[in-house]
């Protein structure tokens, strides 16, 4: 039985409710007035229910799709302005006891496994810092013997303790296997930002077919965010791996997960990620339901409309020109210059995005180094942001959401984006980017909504240009 507040995964992601939503959507989508009503509701920026989102998933005609993209574009611009938050994944360990069918790290794959020593980790962090990164996402396979929680905590501590000429890593987000309330409490105490865990697929029979090993426990995995919240982590990030099962089912269930977190804990997900299946070592694509670009774009726009105040993250799996389209209609965060293997940043010296000499977890579609990604963003009028201010100012969970929902967050995001971008230009930019970037900053500072904040940001910018660092709102 569907119960949005239940702590049981089979009730808050009730299969019958997902199927009923999809069935009802087929009929409702034939009614133009109903589509217009839903799009008009979306334009008020109060979000959509999973049932309404299901109706939009049925849209096929180009005219209505374009209208929906236009609303998503306006919403993105109004709430998030021109900033795109940048981060880098950091792979700590490739040991894994699971055998997920879609992953290059599955235990059945005969690949060299290793985890970073603390000294190797310092080298990775040094290389990342030299690329300008301030926000990391730690990644590790599941293996309690080779990669226990104590190791993860030690790594977090090492990363935060490293200080460099131009500053330090300011925020560490973590993507590790579902764990206990007690361990989530330890991660919280270690000072993590967001805890991220992809559901992979919400369709239970597919989930069971895709997994073997401890991860095969569907309920344990699906209820992980409940335990994270109980352990004190109030910023959590969810996501489905598109391509494992029907994308309509995944999208409706993903939104039911978001509604559950909001109903049960008063805080919806801080972020939603959009990984899409790409080729990986030893993966047979026979049984998968890969999502084409057209449908994927539709999914991104619908989720933007359904949860206007949730950050949306795109990984380096997507190709360059398609990334541009997705940024336009909803994506607010992306990785730049990623390495998806253990020890890759120090190996490559930050010269370009890489898959390392070792077997990666998946293959990349965007191999540009951060400097080139930044130039590309600036050319399109986006402000690359290395902002980590909310987490460091205690604006998380239920202290963050009211600011986001009332639209006041723009008064934080926009100036913080400009300040952190100026830091990047001063410390890491080349002449070309400095010239392009400062022109953009001077233009965008005038768009900071609040007058006093605009004046304060202008003063901060001048202080950063004369050498001060880490000024923020």
State the Cα–Cα distance between residues 116 and 151, nearest whole angstrom. Answer: 10
Give the list of residues 6+ apart from residue 241 with CB closer than 8 angstroms, or none: 102, 198, 199, 200, 201, 275, 276, 277
Cβ closest to ligand SF4, residue 217 vs residue 352: 217
> Nearest Cα to 112, choosing from 415, 297, 357, 346?
357
Burial zone of 63 (CB within 10 Å; 0-12 exposed, 13-18 middle, 19+ buried): exposed
Cβ closest to ligand SF4, residue 135 vs residue 298: 135
Q: Is the distance from CB of 282 to CB of 34 less than 8 angstroms?
A: no
Question: In the complex, what is the shortest distance from the CB of residue 303 to ligand SF4, in angstroms, rounded to a whole number?
Answer: 18
Cβ closest to ligand SF4, residue 69 vs residue 80: 80
Residues facing residue 93 across a β-bridge:
115, 140
> Nearest Cα to 128, choosing from 333, 370, 367?
370
Q: Is the distance from CB of 104 to CB of 281 less than 8 angstroms?
A: yes
Question: In the complex, what is the shortest distance from the CB of residue 417 to ligand SF4, in angstroms, rounded to a whole number?
Answer: 6
Cβ closest to ligand SF4, residue 21 vs residue 183: 183
Binding residues (CB under 6 A) for ligand SF4: these are 85, 96, 98, 100, 103, 105-106, 141-142, 215, 385, 387-390, 409, 412-413, 416
Question: In the complex, what is the shortest distance from the CB of residue 380 to ligand SF4, in angstroms, rounded to a whole number?
Answer: 18
Cβ closest to ligand SF4, residue 69 vs residue 102: 102
Cβ closest to ligand SF4, residue 89 vs residue 350: 89
Question: In the complex, what is the shortest distance from the CB of residue 260 to ligand SF4, in angstroms, rounded to a whole number?
Answer: 23
Question: In the complex, what is the shortest distance from the CB of residue 134 to ligand SF4, in angstroms, rounded to a whole number?
Answer: 11
Question: In the complex, what is the shortest distance from the CB of residue 89 to ligand SF4, in angstroms, rounded to a whole number?
Answer: 12
Give the list of residues 6+ apart from residue 166 with CB closer than 8 angstroms, or none: 129, 423, 427, 428, 469
Question: In the complex, what is the shortest distance from the CB of residue 182 to ligand SF4, in angstroms, rounded to a whole number?
Answer: 21
State the Cα–Cα distance between residues 29 and 42, nearest whole angstrom. Answer: 16
């Amino acid at each position: 039985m569907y119960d949005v507040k239940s702590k049981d995964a089979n009730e808050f992601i009730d299969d019958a409710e997902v199927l009923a939503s999809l069935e009802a959507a087929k009929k409702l989508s034939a009614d133009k007035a109903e589509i217009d009503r839903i799009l008009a509701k979306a334009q008020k920026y109060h979000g959509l229910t999973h049932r309404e989102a299901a109706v939009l998933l049925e849209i096929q005609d180009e005219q209505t799709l374009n209208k929906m993209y236009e609303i998503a574009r306006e919403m993105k611009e109004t709430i998030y302005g021109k900033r795109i938050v940048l981060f880098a994944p950091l792979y700590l360990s490739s040991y894994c006891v699971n055998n997920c069918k879609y992953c290059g790290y599955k235990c059945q794959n005969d690949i060299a496994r290793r985890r970073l020593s603390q000294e190797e980790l310092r080298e990775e962090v040094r290389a990342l810092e030299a690329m300008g990164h301030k926000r990391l996402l730690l990644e590790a396979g599941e293996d309690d013997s080779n990669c226990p929680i104590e190791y993860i905590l030690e790594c977090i501590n090492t990363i935060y303790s490293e200080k460099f000429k131009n500053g330090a890593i300011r925020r560490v987000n973590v993507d590790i296997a579902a764990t206990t309330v007690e361990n989530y409490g330890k991660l919280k105490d270690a000072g993590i930002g967001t805890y991220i865990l992809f559901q992979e697929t919400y369709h239970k029979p597919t989930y069971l077919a895709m997994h073997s090993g401890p991860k095969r426990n569907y309920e344990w995995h699906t209820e992980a965010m409940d335990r994270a919240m109980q352990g004190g982590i109030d910023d959590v990030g969810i996501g489905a791996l598109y391509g494992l099962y029907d994308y309509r089912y995944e999208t409706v269930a993903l939104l039911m997960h978001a509604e559950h977190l909001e109903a049960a804990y008063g805080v919806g997900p801080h972020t939603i990620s959009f990984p899409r299946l790409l080729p990986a070592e030893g993966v047979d694509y026979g049984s998968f339901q890969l999502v084409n670009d057209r449908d994927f774009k539709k999914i991104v726009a619908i989720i933007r409309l359904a949860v206007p105040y949730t950050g949306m993250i795109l990984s380096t799996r997507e190709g360059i020109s398609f990334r541009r389209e997705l940024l336009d209609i909803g994506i607010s965060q992306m990785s730049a210059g990623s390495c998806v293997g253990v020890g890759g940043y120090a190996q490559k010296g930050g010269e370009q995005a890489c898959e390392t000499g070792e077997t990666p977890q998946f293959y990349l579609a965007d191999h540009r180094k951060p400097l080139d990604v930044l130039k590309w963003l600036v050319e399109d009028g986006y402000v690359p942001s290395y902002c980590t201010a909310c987490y460091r100012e205690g604006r998380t969970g239920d202290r963050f959401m009211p600011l986001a929902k009332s639209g006041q967050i723009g008064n934080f995001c926009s100036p913080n984006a400009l300040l952190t971008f100026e830091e990047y230009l001063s410390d890491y930019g080349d002449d070309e980017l400095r010239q392009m970037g400062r022109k953009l900053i001077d233009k965008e500072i005038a768009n900071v909504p609040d007058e006093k904040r605009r004046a304060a940001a202008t003063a901060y910018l001048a202080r950063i240009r004369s050498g001060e660092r880490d000024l923020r709102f």
